Amino acid sequence: MGGRDTALVLLDENGIRCDGRKVDEPRRIMIKAGGLKNADGSAYIEFGDNKILVGVFGPRDVHPKHMSNTDTGILRVRYHMEPFSVTERKNPAPSRREIEISKVIKEALEPAVMLDKFPRTAVDVFIEVLQADGGTRCAALSAASVALADAGIPMRDMVAACAAGKAADTIILDVNNEEDQAGQADMPIGYMPSLEKITLLQLDGVLTPAEYKKCVETGIHGCKIVYELQKKALTEKYFGNGEK
Amino acid sequence: MENKRKYVIPGDVITTGPYRPEQNVILDGNKIISTAIGISEIYDDSIKVIPLTGKYIPKIDDLVIGKVISHTSLSWELDINSCYVGFLPAQDVFGRDFSAHADELSSKLKSGDLVAARIANFDRTRDPLVTIADRDLGKIDSGHLVKISPSKVPRLIGKRGTMIQAIEMATGAAITIGQNGWVVVSCETPEGLLKAKKAIQMVDEKAHVANLTDQVKEMLESKGES
């Protein structure tokens, strides 16, 4: 952890981070709704150097049949990293980490989607990470929620996600790969902005109670920035630029 | 606009106050929140969102266009462009005295046939039961199938059928609209057929645009002159 790479300065004396950002500044974010013709809903996100494509199918028949639930529809999520998404070739078979992130994203989306209207069906979310640079689960979650809305799945609210963390003893917004490797803490947060509810909260590292509180607040601030971009992406696709 | 239409996405608070939530909205405290991408409409005491995307969900008494997928010795299964398959029992076609030994289902409807059907019964526990025993229902012998998004069907019909009447009048085509987004167009002249198909696709693409009926009429007329 800390100090492994001595040449890397995470935060300089002017409060500028290793990639030139301020402490409370997220990376450049671009979200596009739609784009895949054959999927029922889709989204593409660029979150700094992360590039992620999400396709959603459903509600549709459940296969295998025994997975179906007579009371409600089920949500299935697959998070997958392309072999070329990282510097060293990644084995395309699902790793322990990918299975875990799939589960975490699924559970972060479940409070938002209202699948009780579609018993005996499944909604499948396929997340493909084309290029990874730290914070893929947040970017993937944000894109997945746009894709679900695009597919017309009823949702209580959008889920926006952004990470906060601690590096060089300072709470920072949107942790990148270097800060994740060399920093002191990383906290991905999924948030429903209208309902003001947290759907995902993980923490890797050690924080004091005061730092923890500040970290959550910083993360939520980031989620709200992401939410505005999600809104913009959907508005652009469905209503053109003629905002009424 | 008249009844305060607004573009909304899931999670948007449409308004607060004592309104009755109807389609695609939920009540959270006193906030009324949209659950779909669409256009919100506020009436005197209720609020609904007309969705712009999403699959077809069967409703009792809906007219749908279905495609026969397969049959057993007792019933057909229809693809009705939904997450559920339509279930068409053989008694519906052969009548009360249907016998699984004597009657062969494929003699009436084969895989791939298109039928106009009505949703007879549907609830959460079973697949939708459809019927073709009524006037104007049954096998479709001729026409072109156009697929549009099911959420845009109300737009294609228009207020009290104005849009569809405009298209039928201008092209001389007979159009059957299934609530599931499948539309069958049949017309005597190939020009009328092409024009009607184009108009339907135009409605599908531009469903959110205001005064679309006028635009469609304009398109139909301009083509007529050339």
Instruction: Give the tens place of pLDDT for each residue, A32-81.
Output: 999 999 999 999 999 999 999 999 998 998 989 999 999 999 999 999 99
pLDDT given at position A212? 96
Q: Is B192 on the interface with A (CB under 8 A)?
A: no
Residues B134 and B171 grouped into a single domain: no
Single out the residue of A62, A40, A45, A54 nearest to residue A109, CA to CA: A54
Q: The domain containing residue B43 runs over which residues?
A: 6-51
Mutation choice for A interface testing from B3, B8, B9 by most A CBs within 10 A: B9
List Cβ neighbours of B214 (8 Å cut-off, separation of 6 or more).
Answer: none
Partner A contacted by B126 (CB < 8 A): no
Contact criterion met (CB < 8 Å) for B54 and A152:
yes
B56: in domain: no
Q: Which amino acid, residue B174?
A: A
Residues in B 134-163 with any Cβ partner in A closer than 8 A: 151
Does the distance separating the beta carbons of A149 and B10 come in below 8 Å? yes
Same domain? For B209 and B151 the reply is: yes
**What spatial distance separates the first Cα and last Cα of chain B, rounded to whole Å?**
36
Q: By the CB < 8 Å criterion, does B20 face chain A? A: no
CATH of domain A29-239: 3.30.230.70
Query: What interhelical angle do A136-150 and A96-109 show, nearest 10?
Result: 50
- State the SS3 of A127-180: EEEEECCCCHHHHHHHHHHHHHHHCCCCECCCCEEEEEEEECCEEEECCCHHHH
Note whether B164 and B213 are same-domain residues. yes
B67 and B46: one domain?
no
Provide the pairing of β-strand A74-81 with A121-131: parallel
Top-confidence residue, A208 or B99? A208
**B26 near A CB under 8 A:** yes
Phi/psi for A239 (5° steps) reads: -120, 10
User: Structure pTM?
Assistant: 0.89
Residue to test with chain B: of A57, A63, A68, A194, most B Cβ within 10 A: A194
Q: Pick B37's closest partner by Cβ from A40, A119, A149.
A: A149
Residues 6+ apart with CB under 8 A from A87: none
Q: Is the confidence at residue A30, as pLDDT, over 80? A: yes
Angstroms from A235 CA to nearest CA on chain B:
8
- Verify that B120 and B173 share a domain, yes or no: no
Look at residues B119, B139, B159 and tell me which one is the last residue of a structural domain. B139
Sign of CA dihedral B205, B209, B215, B216: positive
In chain B, which residues have pLDDT < 70?
1-3, 223-226
CATH number of the domain residue B11 falls in: 2.40.50.100
Chain A residues with CB under 8 Å of B55 CB are: 40, 58-59, 152
- Kindly report, residue by residue over A68-104, the tens digit of the pLDDT: 999 999 999 999 999 999 999 999 999 999 999 999 9
